[in-house]
A and B are shown apart, each in its own frame.
Chain A
Amino acid sequence: MATAVRDKASAVIGKLKSLILGTGDRNISRIRRRRKLTALLWKSLPALIVTLLSAGYFWMLAIPLPQLGQRTYIDENALQPGQVRTYWDWADVHRADQYLEGLEQLRGRNASSDEIAQHIATEFEKIGIPASTQRYSFSTTAGVTNGTNAYAVRSSPRASGAEAMVISASWISRTGEGDGTLNLRGVSSVLALANFLKGYSLWAKDLVFVISDGYLDGMQAWITSYHGVPQSNMWAEPLELSSGVVWTALNIDYPGHSFSHLGVFFEGLNGRLPNQDLINSLFVITRHTAAVPVVVYDHMDPHEFPGIKADLAGIPEWVPGSLRENDDVVEYGYRAKNILRHANYQARGQASGVHGLLHQFRIDAITLFAVPAAGPHGFHAIGRIVESTLRTTNNLLERLHASFFFYFLVGTHTFLKVGMYLPSAVLISTALMFAGLRAWVEAGWVWERAAPEPEAGADDKAGTGEKKGGPDQLKGRWVTRRRPVLKPLGIMLATHAAGALLFFTITQPWFVAHQEAYAVPVFALFSALSFAPLLLSPPSSSSPSAEAPLPLLLRALTLCLASTVTSIISVLNFSLAASLALTLGIPLTLAAPAHSLPARLGKGALYACLALGWLVLAPGEVRRAVWNWEVLRVWFAPFVCVVYTPLMLQAAVVNVLPP
């Protein structure tokens, strides 16, 4: 009985097996199955590439969706934000006003940097904190930048001086990315805070007060001197006072008369971000200790102003009214605005404030930006916020390491983890890789129509000529051909070398001085490079059946390189990788030689514009990127010249070359 059941069961299983796996020799059916799958994959590869590309682009569009993201939280238990009673009171506000008066007098009589720094250092000395000044100068292709920093080091009671916190303010506010608005109230806040914080013995770390000159240059001189990192184009006096390792820093930017909201800026050089715990602590403290509304950057939260919420969220006028008022649309617009601002700083590697210069030395730093308004907050609020935040960071026993270092802060309460946005760029780079591999396979095989007399000679020449289909598919057969990679690799190397030359050119004083005059010739010269292979390369001697055509090979290698670069950059600086994926994705997959010469030339010119158009169209951006590279060591300018432009030029060459 039992055996009968068992037999029956095994018969059923056997039938199922043969249904799925096929009958006959297991190995033969396996090989068949594998071939079928390969053929299917090959057939659907173009569709797969399109799917991956569109999935990547749609994912990017979906990042600001209100449904995504999670609430922020404090991960490091030591921080305990907002758990202390603050002592900053109106007497300290009065003192800040007095300091402000002194600074306004300096501004009124147009005092020099030296004079201002000396004045500030003396004020610190009067408080009883050792202070000093530091003169510096940067020589860039655009000229020489001079200035004088003032700084003071308060050795905290009982502290060993091995750890320190920095409280800084730059002389020029970050308003308009350093357009010259003075940060007088920020500086007076730091002075008044120095006087106030000295009265307490609860500090476990030294307090370092820095009033840096200029917008970014002063702090760069100070922080590199503090860490003893030499910079070839910088001269700076060595620091006369020192303290220990700096873990956290707060930069105060208070340009207006009063402020309505406290904004936070956090992007650092080369796309570095501070630990999210610091930002979250500041938000908690600002809301609960000082009762000041907080915003990301200086973007007002549309939910706070229902009347103009669509305008605040940056939703264009042409969107129909019902959509403009929809909460989800408004939230999407607000988040998109924050993400774009973030990506704009991060992709260009630009610091969104003075704090950004500290990240390179593993200092978690943010800028507190008092959004200028008619009221109602002032020194009283900013003092309490900074006092409480300092006491929070004072609690740290270790560096901030819990929380997140990769995130999108889409709102004051919400953030996106790296896993929620990273796949978008990676999908696009996968599509590029698949397209590249497809081109590589295409370059290696050619479909040869069956001639009445099979050309045995060609077969012999190819060496390993083989039929791919069975004998019944005698319409043609796949023949391998040689893939000479030396030439395309040479072209790629040449474009990258041209990129390096381009970078060398735009960092020359003569170029920077007469940018308007030279931009067009330089653009024309380097664009012409993409047409050079047309003249240089001799017409292919061997037939396409024996040797893969040059544009196809070049296209395969370019796509693979672009994909690799994008994937690697995506884990270092997502915004840069996303912009690279956006700009390279479609042009590179579409690059292919046209049949007629005018079409080829036209396409080549278009791609050359894509590669080098920024030279002519964005002269201000070029100047800023070069300055950022020379003074702050921001990699954006060399990256564009040596990675982006050559890749696009390679695509241009693909278009220009005869098929």
Chain B
Amino acid sequence: MLSGWLFNVCFFLSVLAARTVALHAEQFDEELTLRPLRDGKLAARFSFTTLLKGVAPRNPERLDEDDDSQHYTLFPLALGQILREYAVTEMHLTLNAGNWAYDRWGYPDDLGVSTGAELWAWMGEGGPVTVDDRWKGLRNALAGLFCASLGSLDEQRTTSPALTFQPEGSLPRWNASHQLRHATLPSEHVCTENLTPFLKLLPCKARSGVAMLLNPHRLFDADWHGLGVHVRYLDAGVEVRLAFQAVFDPVRLSSDKRRDWSLRSVFDRTIDRACPVARSSEVRVELLPDSAYAITPDPSEIDGNRATYAVKDRTEPLDVAMRWPGEEAFQYPIEAAPLSPLSVRRTLKGSSQSDAQLSVVIRNNLPVQVRSSYLETMPWLVEFYLHTLHADIGGVPRDDLVSVISYTAPVPHTRPTLFQAILTLPPKTTLHLTMDVTKTFLRYTEHPPDAQRGWDLPPAVLIPFDFGEDPIQNHTTSPGTSAKYARPARPRRIYTSVLLVDLATPDFSMPYNVIIMSCTLIALIFGSVFNLLTRKFVLVRLDGDSAEQKPDVK
């Protein structure tokens, strides 16, 4: 009787506990932004935001205590478990394929467009497990979750460039401070095996809502595509945002080279039904003001240059389409001005296997002076000669434009290089930055199986942050350009392209020849030396040679 009563109490308590956790309000919003680009392409950004209200990230100091039980209805449990296991406050994972063309496409809607994999996390210090151990656990867990080679983001690639990667949310006020860990893997390829686990984290999977459009056959044929997982702590709670960005080329897809597009033509699907648990579900199309276009069906709302469709209000399938009826075939714009404040070109010059020159060409496209931070994180394979860092503009040395240099030298086989500086870019000029680098000679066991490919180097990151006043702003014809850049909501990162570096590579196709050859040489040398050392030298008298004593060797 007593036990039955106890059981009832326990059951009641556990239900209550479950209730209290479940009472954390969760809200899910989804959104698709479509942006026709100047060069006929179409940028699409899917954003799925889940907010877990009233919850704080796990304090690492309590990692040895039992954690609160996790009961979510919308929040992705698999991700939530990882976040709490390793006490991660903020985390950003992006897996991208392709090179974002800032000049032609402008800034991306989601800033993380680094080629390959990029992972960065802010984690609290203190507690029984160190930040580095938790970072290791985090990347291995995410590698398992997203089927990506994130496990290779090890100490040899991990840096802490806290100035460039500021937290996007807020950090809880704990006793200990927070630490950043950042690593990139430029050679990571993104494909369906990463998208499938990504879709599993969505409350409606790909069955309804805008996620229905996530058709791998079309997404992975796009000119640029990438998925991202962004976790941050807001005052309201913990927010997980899953994002997918892609740049499609409707001109390539169409038979008569037109830039007309529709959801059907681009994704090969339409939005048939809304996700029932989503609080809001919207499709937004940015309209080009200076072209004769037609958009169907009629948007629910037009706000300036943006048409919005509320998927929840619709009863029939939604197939947004945009046409340019007046155009025969799409004419590519010739010599159009770049859309980003800075154009960056980074290359590795030189043809030898021992050293090279890193060359970064940065053009300030604005009529105002821009100050920008510049970050290089290099694996130890490539070492900088810092004293050879030179800046010039049109052949005139301007080393004064590079300031506040901070440099963490690499430790071979252990730690990567971290180089940060502030660049001052005069208006409408091109700054050439060069630095000599040396390529390491690797141990032969350190070469990957595809040794002749070379090594991928991560992108550099620039953040233009200080836009000077335009002295001739009143006279310029388009004052909006500079004004638009002069007061950005927050500094935005610009990633350069990745590099491939050739290191001295042994000819792995003939190890046996080499072994046999060197063994023979060693045997010959050893044999002769041994012979000379152990031989006894005596006089030998030849018959009939008695007149002479000929010393000879026995």
Contact residues of A with B, CB < 8 Å?
Answer: 24-25, 27-28, 31-32, 122, 125-128, 155, 157-163, 198-201, 227-229, 241-242, 244-245, 360-362, 397-399, 401-402, 467, 470-472
Contacts and interface: CB of A to CB of B under 8 A. Distances in A.
B438 to A, nearest CB: 16
B387 interface: no
A25 B507 CA distance: 52
Contact of A201 (B223, B332, B540, B542): B223
A126 B334 contact: yes
Contacts of A198: 252
Contacts of A155: 98-99, 101
B544 interface: yes
Contact of A245 (B116, B345, B454, B544): B454
A324 to B, nearest CB: 44
What is the size category of the interface that chain B forms with chain A? 35 or more
Contacts of B20: none
Interface in B475-507: 497-500, 502, 507
Nearest to B225: A158
Nearest to B454: A245
Contact of B224 (A25, A157, A163, A402): A157
A133 B99 CA distance: 23
B317 interface: no
Interface stretch (B57-65, B301-309, B445-453): B445-453
A634 B188 CA distance: 41
B509 A201 contact: no
Interface stretch (B7-15, B275-283, B349-357, B413-421): B349-357
A32 B542 CA distance: 8
Contact of B545 (A25, A398, A470): A470
Contact of A157 (B249, B450, B451, B542): B249
Given A28-B542, A28-B543, A362-B502, 14 more contacts: A25-B540, A31-B552, A127-B332, A155-B101, A159-B98, A162-B456, A201-B249, A227-B349, A228-B357, A229-B351, A242-B345, A244-B497, A398-B450, A398-B452
Interface SS, A side = loop
Contacts of A467: 548
A237 B249 CA distance: 33
What 3 pairs between A and B have smallest CB-CB spacing?
A228-B349, A398-B452, A162-B500
Nearest to B332: A128
B292 interface: no
Interface in B497-554: 497-500, 502, 507, 509, 540-545, 547-548, 552, 554
A162 B497 contact: yes
Nearest to A397: B450
Contacts of A161: 99, 115, 497-498
A64 B459 CA distance: 52
Contact of A160 (B186, B252, B451): B186
A127 B40 CA distance: 12
Contacts of B543: 24, 28
A200 B507 CA distance: 35
B453 to A, nearest CB: 4
Given A244-B499, A244-B500, A158 B349 contact: no
> Which residue, of B249, B334, B351, B359, has the highest number of chain A Cβ atoms within 10 A?
B351
B132 interface: no
B328 interface: no
A471 B548 CA distance: 9
Contact of B335 (A125, A128, A160, A398): A125
5 contacts: A160-B498, A360-B351, A398-B453, A401-B452, A471-B544
A128 B39 contact: yes
Contact of B351 (A159, A361, A398): A361
Interface in B249-266: 249, 251-252
Contacts of B51: none
B39 A157 contact: no
A159 B99 contact: yes
B359 to A, nearest CB: 6
Contacts of A228: 347, 349-350, 357, 359
B545 A160 contact: no
A158 B98 contact: yes
Contacts of B331: 126
A467 to B, nearest CB: 7
B499 A162 contact: yes
B505 to A, nearest CB: 8
A28 B453 contact: no
Contacts of A471: 544-545, 547
B222 interface: yes
Nearest to B552: A31
A452 B540 CA distance: 31
